[in-house]
């Protein structure tokens, strides 16, 4: 596969990061020279990704998930235990340089929280005793690869479900048609395996169990549009799946289904490689992903062209996610007629949902479109559900009063401003809605690429306002401003991250109006009802010189 040199930048950075635990000044100089870039440009790329560091990260680098689901499943206790057992404080490395502790939002294991990555290997269903054992083994020199968990694959089907194994809504062939009609060569097929929306983990399960369907889906796309090159952009959090995918690709090469004249089809050459991301949610946005693949900062492009016109290396490119490619392979196998017979009129097919939070049976659910929220809640044995976040923090929140809404393209999944990643996070009445929203805002604040003001400043302002609300200091004007900022971000941000970051807040303020009113400072005396002197002192100690 002939590609420009800078496209190899991410691979070089990963190699250095994994070998030495960080990227030092000499590395930056060397890479700048090698890629014919300035040192500032290389610095810019390094600093963009959460998993590239300019300071040592310890022999064992531990990333603990701090998503909202982890939070309700015991994150604080795990955090404390890790600090106690390793002697390190989160955000730094212990004095011996052995353990580095870092927080990260959602590692695609919401059905097995609390969870963490150690040297990018998964450790799931953590508790204090398990942490003690893991750290003791590492102190004795254990290899994280040898002692990590294989994340469980929890798949369930609705009673009426097809057991057809992983379909999604009927594939929109527009992208493939558009790429096919482009005269320019070469063309590229890219799998977006960067599902970073907190609460979403269906692509992880698909890659664990259906890697071959993914390869076949990409092959079919390559054949359709006339492409020879496929790339799977795999999120850094799923690094542990890389060798599994590469083994499956090699198997296809060995059997003549990838490479030259695939499957004996004269003139059809197609191959696939895996490219690692490095911890950036915004790279799930198509054009940011393309920038990252080209070895640059993953900043969304100004949309002069669709990727099917000018995508990877300015060539026609189809970008679909893991679920879509797997679905393409299965639809071809079963035939469209059978597929279209599933679901309801106007919304045929089935959908994969990642269910987590306050329920007894979290996992992946394959449902026929048209199922009601109430039926899904019953299936997963939801515990006193009150508030449900559909499609992750950038999606729509619904109240239990809406439980008879249908999960279909005619109702719950119909909104064009919300792309359904299929996450269903369930919260009971004991959960504090403002805390949930604060968690989401912190996530968007740290994932914003910062290139446009509404998103960069808006997330920050919204976080401050929510903190006022949480502390009992907000008044009606604050609520009004919260909503206004939400709308400003929605209407003026440059990419999908900023446009959708306040969806949950806007919906929650409409649907849980009395809850928000109950949080207001009724006296309006400005007294900080929840001033936490311990936290304030801790902050002071941390930053004093």
The residues of the shown chain that bind ligand SF4, judged by CB under 6 A, are 282, 300, 448-452, 455-456, 493-495, 497-498
Residue with tokens 């196998």: 333
Our CB check for ligand SF4 shows the closer of 203 and 285 to be 285
The nearer residue to ligand SF4, 45 or 215, going by C-beta atoms, is: 45
Please state the length of the chain. Answer: 545
Identify the helix (H) or strand (E) that includes residue 120.
none
Residue 345 burial by CB count (10 A; 0-12/13-18/19+): exposed, middle or buried?
exposed
Compare residues 13 and 455 and give the one whose CB is closer to ligand SF4: 455
CB of 398 to ligand SF4, least distance (A): 25
Nearer to ligand SF4, 12 or 499 (CB): 499
Q: Which residue's CB comes closest to ligand SF4?
A: 498
392 close to 106: Cβ distance less than 8 angstroms: no
456 or 511: CB nearest ligand SF4: 456
Closest CB to ligand SF4 among 57 and 448? 448
| Spatial contact of 437 and 504, defined as CB atoms under 8 Å apart | yes
As measured in angstroms, the least distance from the Cβ of 102 to ligand SF4 is: 21
> Which of 504, 535, 469 has its CA nearest to residue 76?
535
Residue 474 burial class via C-beta count within 10 angstroms: exposed 0-12, middle 13-18, buried 19 and up: buried
H or E element in which residue 253 lies: helix 242-254
| Closer CB to ligand SF4, 207 or 437, in the complex | 437
Which residue's CB is nearer to ligand SF4, number 453 or number 528? 453
Q: What is the Cβ-side half-sphere exposure of residue 305, based on CA atoms within 13 angstroms?
A: 16
Alpha carbons 311 and 287: distance in angstroms, whole number: 8
Smallest gap from residue 457 Cβ to ligand SF4 (A): 9
* Minimum distance, C-beta of residue 448 to ligand SF4, in the bound complex (Å): 4
For residue 57, give the H/E element and its range: none
Burial group, residue 354, by CB count within 10 angstroms (0-12, 13-18, 19+): buried
Residue 332: partners with Cβ closer than 8 Å, 6 or more residues away? 220
CB of 501 to ligand SF4, least distance (A): 8
Measured from the CB of residue 47, what is the shortest distance to ligand SF4 in angstroms? Answer: 15
Please report how close the Cβ of residue 302 comes to ligand SF4 at its closest, in angstroms. 9
Least CB distance to ligand SF4 at residue 396 (A) = 19
Angstrom distance (rounded) from CA 447 to CA 526: 32
Smallest distance from ligand SF4 to CB 13, Å: 21
- The whole-angstrom distance between residue 468's C-alpha and the CA centroid of its chain comes to 28
The C-alpha atoms of residue 442 and residue 454 are separated, in whole angstroms, by 15
User: Smaller CB distance to ligand SF4: residue 184 or 302?
Assistant: 302
- Minimum gap (Å) between residue 263 Cβ and ligand SF4: 41
Closer to ligand SF4 at the Cβ: 437 or 455?
Answer: 455
Between CA 377 and CA 272 the distance in angstroms is 39
CA distances in angstroms from 473 to 290, 462, 468, 486, 519, listed in the order given: 44, 14, 5, 20, 8
């Amino acid at each position: 596969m002939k590609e420009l040199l800078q496209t190899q930048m991410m691979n070089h950075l990963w190699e250095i990061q994994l070998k030495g635990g960080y990227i030092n000044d000499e590395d930056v100089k060397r890479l700048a020279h090698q890629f014919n870039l300035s040192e500032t440009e290389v610095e810019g790329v390094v600093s963009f990704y959460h998993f590239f560091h300019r300071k040592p990260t310890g022999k064992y680098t531990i990333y603990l998930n701090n998503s909202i689901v982890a939070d309700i499943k015991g994150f604080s206790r795990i955090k404390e235990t890790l600090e106690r057992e390793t002697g390190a404080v989160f955000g730094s490395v212990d004095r011996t340089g052995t353990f580095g502790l870092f927080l990260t939002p959602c590692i695609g294991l919401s059905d097995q929280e609390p969870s963490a990555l150690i040297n990018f290997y998964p450790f799931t269903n953590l508790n204090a005793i398990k942490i003690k054992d893991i750290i003791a083994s590492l102190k004795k020199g254990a290899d994280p690869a040898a002692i990590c968990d294989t994340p469980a694959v929890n798949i369930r089907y609705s009673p009426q479900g097809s057991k057809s194994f992983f379909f999604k809504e009927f594939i929109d062939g527009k992208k493939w048609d558009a790429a096919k009609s482009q005269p320019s060569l070469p063309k590229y097929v890219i799998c977006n395996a960067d599902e970073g929306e907190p609460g979403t983990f269906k692509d992880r399960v698909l890659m664990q169990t259906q890697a071959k369907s993914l390869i076949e889906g990409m092959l079919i796309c390559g054949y359709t549009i006339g492409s020879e090159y496929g790339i799977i952009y795999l999120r850094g959090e799923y690094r542990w799946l890389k060798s599994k995918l590469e083994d499956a690709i090699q198997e296809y090469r060995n059997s003549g289904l990838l490479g030259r004249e695939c499957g004996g089809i004269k003139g059809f050459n197609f191959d696939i490689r895996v490219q690692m991301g490095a911890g950036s949610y915004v790279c799930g946005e198509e054009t940011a992903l393309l920038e990252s693949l080209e070895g640059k900062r993953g900043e969304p492009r100004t949309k002069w062209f669709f990727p099917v016109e000018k995508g990877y290396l300015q060539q026609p490119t189809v970008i679909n996610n893991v679920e879509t490619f797997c679905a393409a392979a299965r639809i071809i196998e079963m035939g469209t007629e059978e597929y279209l017979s599933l679901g309801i009129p106007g919304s045929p097919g089935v959908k994969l949902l990642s269910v987590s939070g306050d329920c007894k049976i979290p996992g992946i659910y394959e449902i026929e479109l048209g199922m009601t929220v109430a039926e899904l809640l019953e299936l997963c044995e939801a515990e006193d559900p009150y508030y449900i976040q559909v499609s992750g923090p950038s999606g729509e929140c619904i109240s239990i009063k809406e439980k008879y809404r249908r999960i279909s393209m005619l109702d719950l999944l119909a909104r064009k401003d919300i792309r359904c990643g299929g996450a269903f996070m369930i919260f009971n009445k004991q959960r504090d809605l403002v805390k949930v929203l604060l968690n989401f805002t912190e996530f968007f604040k740290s994932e914003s690429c910062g290139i446009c003001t509404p998103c960069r400043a808006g997330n920050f302002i919204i976080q401050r306002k929510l903190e006022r609300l949480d502390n009992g200091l907000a008044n009606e004007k604050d609520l009004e401003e919260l909503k206004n900022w939400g709308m400003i971000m929605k209407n003026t941000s440059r990419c999908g991250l900023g446009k959708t970051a306040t969806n949950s807040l806007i919906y929650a303020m409409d649907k849980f109006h009395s809850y928000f009113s109950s949080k207001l400072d009724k006296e309006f005396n400005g007294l900080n009802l929840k001033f936490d002197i311990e936290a304030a002192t801790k902050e002071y100690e941390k930053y004093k010189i």
